[in-house]
Chain A
Amino acid sequence: EVQLLESGGGLVQPGGSLRLSCAVSGITFGTYGMNWVRQAPGKGLEWVSSISGNGGGTYYADSVKGRFTISRDNSENTLYLQMNSLTAEDTAIYYCAKFGVGSDCNSAFCYGNFDYWGQGTLVTVSS
C-alpha cells in the first residue's frame, strides 16, 4: 500500500522559515518524481514544486521560486520542502503527491498527473 505522510507544518512568523517532510512507503521511492501542492483555506489547489526521481530536476511555481527549495533523500524515502521568507500568502495546507502513470519528470522537463497524495500539513504564517 502506497502511503505518503507529511509533517513539519505549524505556526511561523512572517519572514520565517519552515521545512516540511513527506515520508513515503509502499513504492520504490527513487523511481518516481514527486510534488508539493498547496491549498489556502477555502481556496483551490496550487502547484508548488516538482522534483525528478534522482533529484536532478527541480521545478517551481513563480510564486515560490527563489524562496522554496524542494529536495529528496532516496535512502530515507523522504521528500522535503524548505520554505524561507514566508508571508501570509503562503498560509495553506501543503500536500505531497506522487507522479502517476503517464507522467515523467527528469532533469529536462516534467509532466503528468498525481496518483497518490498525503493528507497534508497545515502551515500558518502569522504574527
Chain B
Amino acid sequence: EVVLTQSPGTLSLSPGERATLSCRASLSVRSNYLAWYQQKPGQAPRLLISGASNRAPGIPDRFSGSGSGTDFTLTISRLEPDDFAVYYCQHFAFSRCTFGQGTKLEIK
C-alpha cells in the first residue's frame, strides 16, 4: 500500500504569497493516480487537481499541480483569503486508496 506523507503539517502565509505543498509517496506511483483536495471547516472535500496536474472544472488557475514518481507538489500562486484550508493528496490505484495526513494552510 502506498503511504503518502505531506509536508509541512502547517503552513503559515499571508494573502498574496505563494504556497508550496508537498506530497511524497512511499514508492513510485503513476501521475494519473494522484489527486489533490481542499477541505474547509464543516465542509466536504473538494477536488482541485486530478492526474497530478489537471485542474478540476471551476478551479482557479492560481492552483497548479506538478510532480512525478514519488514527489508531488500543489502550488497556489497568489493566496486569497478563501484559500486558507486543509489540503490532502490522494492516491487510488490497484483498488487501494490512501490519503496523505493533510497540510493546514493558515493565515499568518
Residues of A participating in the B interface, judged by any CB pair closer than 8 Å:
35, 37, 44-47, 50, 59, 61, 95, 100-103, 109-115, 117-120
| A101: nearest chain-B partner, CB-CB | B50
State the main secondary structure of chain B at its contact with A: strand
Q: How many angstroms from the CA of A117 to the CA of B35 in the assembled complex?
A: 15
* Structural contact, B50 and A120, CB atoms closer than 8 A: no
* Structural contact, A47 and B97, CB atoms closer than 8 A: yes
Which residues of the partner chain B approach A59 to less than 8 Å between Cβ atoms? 95-96
Within the complex, the shortest CB–CB distance from A42 to chain B, in Å, comes to 11
| A120: nearest chain-B partner, CB-CB | B44
* Structural contact, B99 and A46, CB atoms closer than 8 A: yes
30 contacts between A and B (CB under 8 A): A35-B97, A37-B45, A44-B99, A44-B100, A45-B37, A45-B45, A45-B99, A45-B102, A46-B99, A47-B92, A47-B98, A47-B99, A50-B95, A50-B97, A59-B95, A61-B97, A95-B44, A95-B45, A102-B50, A102-B51, A109-B94, A111-B92, A111-B94, A112-B33, A112-B50, A112-B92, A113-B47, A113-B90, A114-B45, A117-B46
Within the complex, the shortest CB–CB distance from B101 to chain A, in Å, comes to 5
Within the complex, the shortest CB–CB distance from A12 to chain B, in Å, comes to 22
Counting chain B residues whose Cβ lies within 8 A of the other chain, the interface size class is 20 to 34
B107 part of interface (Cβ distance < 8 Å): no
B32 part of interface (Cβ distance < 8 Å): yes
| A4: nearest chain-B partner, CB-CB | B44
Q: How many angstroms from the CA of A118 to the CA of B93 in the assembled complex?
A: 22
* Structural contact, B92 and A44, CB atoms closer than 8 A: no
Q: How many angstroms from the CA of A5 to the CA of B35 in the assembled complex?
A: 23
With contacts A117-B44, A117-B45 taken as known, whether A110 is within 8 angstroms of B101 at the C-beta atoms is no
| B57: nearest chain-A partner, CB-CB | A115
Q: How many angstroms from the CA of A101 to the CA of B95 in the assembled complex?
A: 16
Residue from B32, B45, B101 having most chain A Cβ neighbours under 10 A:
B45
B88 part of interface (Cβ distance < 8 Å): yes
Within the complex, the shortest CB–CB distance from B32 to chain A, in Å, comes to 6
| B47: nearest chain-A partner, CB-CB | A115
Q: How many angstroms from the CA of A95 to the CA of B43 in the assembled complex?
A: 11
Q: Which residues 2-40 in B have Cβ within 8 Å of A in the complex?
A: 32-33, 35, 37, 39
